[in-house]
């Protein structure tokens, strides 16, 4: 007597997507790159971070980078890392979508204009109306950046290859929203060997030329700055 095999249960899965919070900085502070969302139910002035579904033959990392380029025209980011997995049951009104969110940093606000997409930089202090749960995603990314400025060299992702110490200090001050003593801040940088001089100078208006520095390493590492 042969044993009858049971039919396997039908499995139902959530759809996987990525959403990437790309930050940059200018004189006004920390900026985030957003895209106009024009799909139901978000018709009127809703924005969101670049993202989309993960293809069957790509990793989440590959999908995040692909969507940044294909949808937002952003290719020159120098740091990207997984941020958090957002899986609330009702996060996407179209169905069950789980998002692997990413944090990315770039020292430039230059982007390539992509046909059919409206993309713009917004101050994190003045965000527009956001679709889905992107407000929570952006808030989580801001908290991550502020936290990692204290114990890593992640600032390299928001500055050009050469910068003044004043520019580096201003980055910390505008992102962390606090002031630092100039002497102590620079003493800590040098004691950690975080930056090295380039023997070049930068002139700004009538001020005395300031020496240009670079990070001793432009790769992510743990270092106790604050």
Active site residues: 118
Evaluate the omega torsion of the peptide bond into residue 41 and state whether it is cis, within 30 degrees of 0: yes
Q: Is the torsion defined by CA of 171, 124, 24, 134 positive or negative?
A: positive
Buried-exposed string 31-67: b where 16+ CB fall within 10 A, e elsewhere:
bbbbbebeeeebeeebbbbbbbebeeeeebeebbbbb
The overall longest dimension of the chain from CA atoms, in Å, is 97
Residue 64 tokens read as 């995040």
| Rounded Cα–Cα distance for residues 85 and 137 (Å) | 9
- 185 in Cβ contact with 192 (< 8 Å): no
Q: Is 90 helix (H, G, I), strand (E, B) or coil?
A: coil
Q: Any residues with CB less than 8 A from the CB of 33 and at least 6 apart, and which?
A: 22, 23, 24, 49, 50, 72, 74, 111, 119, 120, 121
Closest by CA to 81, choosing from 163, 15, 147, is: 147
């Amino acid at each position: 007597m042969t044993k009858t095999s049971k039919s396997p249960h039908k499995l139902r899965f959530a759809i996987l997507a990525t959403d990437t919070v790309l930050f940059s900085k200018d004189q006004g502070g920390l900026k985030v790159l957003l895209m106009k969302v024009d799909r139901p139910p978000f018709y009127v002035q809703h924005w969101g971070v670049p993202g989309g579904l993960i293809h069957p033959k790509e990793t989440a990392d590959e999908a995040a980078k692909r969507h940044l380029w294909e949808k937002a025209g952003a290719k020159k980011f120098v740091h990207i890392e997984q941020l958090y997995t957002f899986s609330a049951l009702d996060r996407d009104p179209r169905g069950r979508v789980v998002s692997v969110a990413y944090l990315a940093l770039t020292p430039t606000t230059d982007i390539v204009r992509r046909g059919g997409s409206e993309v713009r930089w917004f101050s994190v202090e003045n965000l527009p109306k956001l679709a889905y749960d992107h407000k929570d995603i952006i808030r989580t990314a801001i908290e991550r950046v502020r936290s990692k400025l204290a114990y890593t060299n992640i600032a390299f992702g928001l500055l050009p290859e050469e910068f003044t110490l004043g520019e580096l200090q201003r980055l910390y001050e505008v992102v962390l929203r606090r002031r630092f003593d100039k002497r102590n801040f620079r003493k800590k940088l040098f004691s950690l060997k975080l930056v090295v001089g380039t023997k070049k100078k930068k002139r700004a208006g009538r001020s005395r030329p300031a020496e240009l520095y670079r990070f001793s390493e432009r790769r992510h590492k743990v270092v106790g700055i604050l």
